[in-house]
Amino acid sequence: MTKLYNYALGKWHLPMGSETPQYNALNSNLIGVAGDFSDYGAMCDYARTVGGKALRRMTFFERGMMLKKLALYLTERKPKYYKISALTGATKTDSWIDIDGGIGNLFTYASLRRQLGNESFYVDGAAVKLGKNGTFIGQHVCVPKQGVAIHINAFNFPVWGMLEKCAVNWLAGVPAIVKASEITSFLTEAVVRDIVASGILPEGALQFIGGRGHGILDFVTMQDVVTFTGSASTGKILRGLPRLNEHSVPFTMEADSLNAMILGEDITPDMPEFDIFIKNVRNEIIIKTGQKCTAVRRIIVPERLLEDVQIALGIELKKVTIGDPSVEGVRMGALVSQTQRQRVHENIKKLLKASSIVVGDLEKFEVVGADKIDGSFLPPILLLNEKPFNNTESHEIEAFGPVATLMPYKGLDQAIELANKGKGSLVSTICSYTPSVCRDYLMNAGAFHGRILFLNRESAPESTGHGAPMPLMTHGGPGRAGGGEEMGGLRGVFHYLQRVAVQGHPTMISQVTQTYKVGGAYTIKEMHPFLHYFDELEIGETLLTEKHTVTEDDIAQFAELTGDKFYAHTDPTALEGTPFSGIVAHGYYILSRAAGLFVEPQKGPVLLNYGLDECRFLKPVYPNSTIGVRFTCKEKNEVEQKPDDTLPPRGIVKWLVDVYDETGETVALATIMTMVRKK
C-alpha cells in the first residue's frame, strides 16, 4: 500500500498515527494512505529557528525574486500535476483554476517586491512630526513576525490553497507549515516534493503534513499565525481552542458560505445581461463540480423572470456532459469522494423540505467514460424555493456540490434582504446595467459580503467570474464566511508583519530605516550626486543648489508655454476671496525650475527620470521670491536584470526635492525617481 510522506525538519517521513485512505474520485480505487507526524512541536520550532531566520535575512526584493523563480520552476512541471489532479475528479478547467491559479499567485506576489523596497522590513507611510522643532518624529515600520504560519487547507484546491497563502507569508519573511486536506493531499505532496527538490526556498521555509494533523495547533505562540479554509463548523471549533486564545494567535478563517447571484430588476430577457447571467450561473454550478467556497448557492431573480430563468438555466444545465474528464466533451467531473457525495445527498434532502428539484435527477443521469456508482458523480441540481422569506433552509444549509436554489424577489430591497439572509458570504454578484441599482446594492449589502461583482455587458468580456478570487483583491467575508481576509495584495502581506511605531530624531530614523526623513542630517559631497553610480550613492547624500529669483516674466512665460492661464497666475484683479495677495507662480513652474537647479547636464550614470512619486505645494511663491533646492538621496531599490535585458545593471533611486524660499521655509516638497546605472 502506498503511503503519503510528510515533510518535516528538513526530511521526508513516513506517516504515523491515524491514517486516512485516499481514493480515485472516478472509480473509488485506492490511491494511498495519508497520516500524521510524531512531533508537531519540533516542526514549529524548526520553522521559527531555521526557516524564519533565513527568510528574515532576505530583503523583500530577494523574497520576491525567490517567488518568481519558484513560479517559473513549477510552471515547467504543470503537466505532471494535471495528471494527478484528474484523480480528484477535476476537469482540465478545474485543474487550471487550481494549478495555474496557485502558480499565478506566486507570480503576482513576486511583482509586489517593487512596492515593498529593498529592505527586510517595510517603512509604512510617511513620517509624522511629533515635536514643534522637527527634532522628534514618528515612523511606522513593519517587521516580519518571528513565528510560523500554519495553514489548514480544504480538499477542493490542493495546489491553489497552499500557494495562495504561502506566496504571501514567504514574501513577508515568515515560514509555513501546510496541513493539506487528508482527502486530496496526494496532489499537494507532489507539488511540495518539487518545491523541496528545487532548492529555491531556504531550509525550513516549508513543511508539509498530508494527514489529519491532530495536535498541530497545540504548540502555537503569540508570534505564529493560523489560517483555516473549510467548513464553518470546523472553523468555529479551531477558533475556540484555548491555546489560540491564551497566546492571542491571529486566526484567519475562510469558510464555505451561501453565496448569491442576483439578477437586477432592470434586466429583461432580450438584454445581453440576461444571457450573461445564465451562463455565469451555469459555470458557478458546474466548475469544480460545485466544490468551491465561492460557488453560487442562491440564485435571486425578479419574480416576473422566475420562469424565464428556470427554463434558460434548465436548457444550459442539461447540456452539461458528466464523466471522466479525460474523455472529449466532458464538462463536469466527479465530486472528490463517495463520502462527499453522501454528504451532498443528505443536505439536498434537508433543502427539499422547503424546495423542489426543477432541473436534474439524483438517480437518473448519464456518466460518460466512467461508472456513476463506483465514481463519485452527481448531476447539476437546480432547486426552487418559491417562498424564500418563509422557507429559510436555503439560507442556512449548504450542499457543497453542483447544487443551487432559485428564488424570487419583488423590488431591490427584497433582493438585498434575501442576499443578506446568508449571514455573511465570500462573494455576491449583482447583474445589472443600472449604476443606481449597483450603488444601492453595495451600500445595503456590502457589509454582508466580502466581495461584490458588478456583472454586465461591459465587464463580462474580461470578468473572471463570480467565483474567482484575485490575488490583489481581498478574499474572505464576514459572519458565516469566517470574518477573515486572505490575499489582497499588500494587505495580505501585512497580516504576517508586526507594525511598530518608531520614534526618535530624524537622523536616527533615517539611518535605521535607510529612508531619508526631512530634518535628518545629510552629507554633501564634492561630486554632483547624478555623477555617482547606484552602488556609490548613500542615503542622505545631498546637493544644495544655486538660487533663483522668480519674476513676473517667468510666470507669464510659463503660462504661455503650457497654456495654464488659471486666474491666480495671470489676473491680479481676480484674487479677492482667495488665499493669495497677488499673482503666484504655478506649482509646476516651481517644480520645473527646481529641476533646472538640481539636474546635472553632462552624461553620467543616470539613465532616465522614472517618474514623480509624490508632490505637495506648501506655500505660495510670489514674484521676487528666491528659491533654492535641497536635493537628497532618499531611498534606493534594486531592479531585476533579465536575461534579454539590453540595459546595463541598474537600480531605482528616490530623491527628496525640498524647494525652499528666502525665509528658509519649504514651498514645495516632492519625491522623484531616477534609473541609475550600477558600477
pLDDT tens for residues 573-619?
A: 999 899 999 999 999 999 999 999 999 999 999 999 888 888 999 99
CATH number of 259-468: 3.40.309.10
Report the alpha-carbon distance of residue 150 to residue 147 in Å, rounded.
10
Q: What is the mean pLDDT of residues 16-39?
A: 87
Q: Helix, strand or coil for residue 467?
A: coil
**How does DSSP assign 192-203, residue by residue?**
HHHHHHHT-SPT
Separation of alpha carbons 528 and 531, rounded Å = 6
Task: Find, among 392, 400, 395, the residue nearest to 298 by Cα.
Answer: 395
Of 298, 174, 157, 292, which Cα lies nearest the Cα of 226?
Answer: 174
Tell me the pLDDT of the chain averaged across its residues: 92
Residue 387 three-state SS: coil
Query: CA–CA separation, 622 vs 614, rounded Å?
Result: 23
Instruction: Write the CB contacts of 594 (distance below 8 Å, at least 6 apart in sequence).
Output: 545, 627, 629, 657, 659, 668, 670
Between residues 1 and 270, which one has the greater pLDDT?
270
pLDDT value at 3 more than 90: no
Confidence of residue 641 (pLDDT cuts 50, 70, 90): confident
> One-letter amino acid identity for 444?
N
What was the pLDDT predicted at 115? 86
| Alpha helices (H) in 421-534, listed in sequence order | 435-445, 490-494, 506-513
642 has pLDDT over 90: no
Active site residue ranges: 254, 293
The domains of the chain are located at: 6-255+491-498, 259-468, 522-677
CA dihedral 12, 17, 18, 22 (to 10 degrees): 20
Residue 501 parent element (H or E): strand 497-504
Phi-psi region of 580 (alpha: psi -120 to 50; beta: other; left: phi over 0): beta
632 in Cβ contact with 541 (< 8 Å): yes
Q: Which residues pair with 215 in a beta bridge?
A: none
**Residue 534 pLDDT:** 92
pLDDT at 449: 94
User: Alpha-carbon Rg of the chain, whole angstroms?
Assistant: 30
For 582-642, give the DSSP string.
S----HHHHHHHHHHHH---S--SEEEEEEEEEEEE-S---TT-EEEEEEEEEEEEE----
- How many whole angstroms separate alpha carbon 6 and alpha carbon 34? 9
The superfamily (CATH) of domain 522-677 is Hotdog Thioesterase (3.10.129.10)
Is residue 448 helix, strand or coil?
A: helix
Q: Which CATH class name applies to 6-255+491-498? A: alpha beta
User: pLDDT digit string (tens) for 67-95?
Assistant: 999 999 999 999 999 999 999 999 999 99
State pLDDT tens for residues 494-545: 999 999 999 999 999 998 998 888 888 888 988 999 999 999 999 999 999 9
What is the rounded average pLDDT of the residues 180-192? 94
Alpha helices by DSSP H, listed for 261-399, are: 272-286, 306-318, 338-351
CA 7 centroid distance within chain: 27
Q: What pLDDT is stored for residue 1 in this prediction?
A: 56
Q: How confident is the model at residue 372 (pLDDT cuts 50, 70, 90)?
A: confident
Could you tell me if 636 and 653 are in contact, meaning their C-beta atoms sit under 8 angstroms apart?
yes
Q: Same CATH topology for 259-468 and 522-677?
A: no
Nearest to 35 by CA among 217, 212, 155: 212
| pLDDT recorded at residue 521 | 86
Contacts of 281 (CB under 8 A, 6+ apart): 261, 296, 299, 313, 404
Q: Which residue has the cell 516674466?
A: 553
Q: Read off the pTM.
A: 0.87
Compute the Cα dihedral for 390, 392, 393, 398 and give only its sign.
positive
| Coil, strand or helix at 126 | strand
- Nearest-CA neighbor of 441 among 259, 258, 257, 264? 264
Three-state SS annotation for 232-285: HHHHHHHHCCHHHHHCCCCEEEEECCCEEEEECCCCCCCCHHHHHHHHHHHHHH
Tell me the pairing of strands 122-129 and 176-179: unpaired
Task: Return phi, psi of residue 50, to 5°.
Answer: -105, -60
Which range, of 229-233, 329-333, 390-394, 453-457, averages the lowest pLDDT? 229-233
Residue 312's SS3 state is helix
Q: Is the pLDDT of residue 321 over 90?
A: yes
CA 405/CA 524 separation, integer angstroms? 71
C-alpha cell at 46: 524548526
